[in-house]
A and B are shown apart, each in its own frame.
Chain A
């Protein structure tokens, strides 16, 4: 169900994100160039220059300042947008934690890219995963359409007074960022009905002065951190709620924190995040046609981590193949670790086979996915942990 005035265009995910920022009526955009994020902010700058978008573009000298400026915009009671990749996200690290702890309802789009060294402009998800514990809600998208739709939803989620946490919408570099696909661009009036003006809880208000983003010792610090954890947990419900409302209005339904594909009766399931899940769906279909009981779980929300949902799916299968486009060096992929932790206490947990692949833009072709799922099908419950690099 397309809304009446929406348009359909062949655009990249980066352009879809720029469209979303425009439709979200952001007041200020502060961003610093980095490949492969650049075309997002170039598009936005052009919309502003052409008078298509009513916003101010802040020329900042670094990503650290870009995110700080966005926090400043929020403190003044306006809506901000920024996006980055890789080293830029790493350079923001200090402010990422600052923004989450300070409960700034920001939206950042990260075009996921490898982290140096070795230096690479190509894609994997190491950059986003390395920011896992900064307190941001992290949502991984698969297509340009999902990226656009999630940016709009991200503002609703972040600004929800039950949440008030920053949201990082992640997309994969090049496969999404620079690949044109058919994207439905909703009309402004419909977006306005879905995403109202920002209603801040607290600002730097000269008529009602507050000290905001202050310091705290012991029990106060602990209290605020506990509230932050509660907010992150509540965000899980809000993501689903906002997604449902979005589906009702725009006709595109996202199934909350995870998306299961043909998991019913599956013996082995592939767990993955981002654009790679598109190929995985086809692989599952092909293997099902061959009579193999396999399924896919696309993990959309990495934080808050969908513990109960994953536990439910994984408890019904014999083995899980987990594809991580990242690694916690000295241990294993982050999704595998978190999945294992979610399964703690199950009487008969599935085997967890962790595959590290798709690093620095390496393709993860269907054969490689079949290999992972076949290996999982052959594994027995309770098998010793398995870690394998699949790109070479």
Chain B
């Protein structure tokens, strides 16, 4: 996919999203790939909160709000209904946050993958419950402060590895992505849409409000995440993991951490420990 191939038409506009919101960007990019022949299930999260209040209607494709724990089960049911009506051509897309995916929605996600209906589950990961005011989730990284892991304490556990969790279900296709690499992400959405079964894409979406950086740095922060090795762009297909993008330059994680208020309390020793873990994972 090339930049010139990106659909010009906007199918998601005029939301109440924060300035610099990468989750909003991820929604826009997703619908540009899938087009008008797609429907969206959005549970309790930032996207539904900034999109769903009548008479506001930023989705120019069919859209429904769903309960927090119910994204994947709703997708599975919609997909089953479309199948019965001979409309398997319609893409059914779930768009859930990190808490809605890795915490409260993980049971339904596991069940729906196991059930095997065709749908695309997109987890947009801003690494905390941002919509309710920055509370920690199962995808909050080690070292981050949130309103429920406030300084001088901080999140003391690593992120759950959702890619490996869904891969353990023998899912036909899964991938990680980052909003700062739109072509990589859009190619993965395209690929997922061609699979006849459940698929999962986990996109890291930096959050200026929750992470504590200026709104015009959203893209740069995402790049730093990938270039520092904090986040990797990978795919899981036919039982194998594959790196889809290797950064041309490598940055120390200290730059990434120093750019965000949520990590500012970390001591040089703690930063060095995080760097050591990244280096170990690379080797």
Residues of A bordering B, CB below 8 Å: 27-28, 30, 56, 58-62, 64-66, 68-78, 80, 94-95, 98, 203-206, 209-217, 220
Contacts and interface: CB of A to CB of B under 8 A. Distances in A.
Given A76-B82, A216-B53, A220-B54, A206 B39 contact: yes
B59 A76 contact: no
Interface stretch (B61-69, B142-150, B227-235): B61-69
B65 A209 contact: no
A210 B36 CA distance: 12
B249 interface: no
B23 interface: no
A78 B81 contact: yes
A213 B66 contact: yes
B53 A75 contact: no
Interface in B4-45: 36-39, 41
A347 B112 CA distance: 58
B84 interface: yes
Interface string B43-60: 000001000111101011
B56 to A, nearest CB: 8
A65 B111 contact: yes
Interface stretch (B71-79, B123-131, B198-206, B215-223): B71-79
B81 A61 contact: no
B111 A72 contact: no
Given A62-B111, A77-B85, A211-B63, 20 more contacts: A27-B80, A28-B81, A56-B83, A59-B111, A61-B114, A68-B66, A70-B77, A72-B41, A72-B74, A74-B81, A76-B81, A204-B90, A206-B39, A206-B61, A209-B36, A210-B62, A212-B63, A215-B52, A216-B53, A216-B54
Contacts of A60: 73, 76, 111, 115
A58 B76 contact: yes
A214 B81 contact: no
Contacts of A64: 69-70, 73, 108
A29 to B, nearest CB: 10
Nearest to A72: B77
Interface core residue of B55, B78, B112 (most chain A CB under 10 Å): B78
Contacts of B81: 27-28, 72-78, 80
Given A62-B107, A64-B108, A205-B62, A72 B73 contact: yes
Contacts of B75: 72
B93 to A, nearest CB: 11
B73 A68 contact: yes
A213 B64 contact: yes
A206 B112 contact: no
A284 B81 CA distance: 48
Interface string B88-130: 0010000000000000000110111011010000000000000
A59 B76 CA distance: 10
Contact of A56 (B78, B80, B112): B80
A214 B59 CA distance: 12
A209 B59 contact: yes
B49 to A, nearest CB: 8
Which are the 7 A-B pairs with shortest beta-carbon distances?
A72-B77, A76-B81, A61-B111, A69-B77, A65-B73, A204-B62, A72-B78
A66 B107 CA distance: 12
A209 B52 contact: no
B157 interface: no
Contacts of A94: 67, 69
Most chain B CB neighbours (cut-off 10 Å) among A56, A204, A209, A217: A204
Contacts of A214: 52-54, 57, 64-65
Contacts of B69: 64, 94
A73 B115 CA distance: 14
B64 to A, nearest CB: 5
Given A68-B73, A211-B57, A212-B63, A61 B108 contact: yes
Contacts of B53: 214-217
A215 B65 CA distance: 8
B87 interface: yes
B145 to A, nearest CB: 30
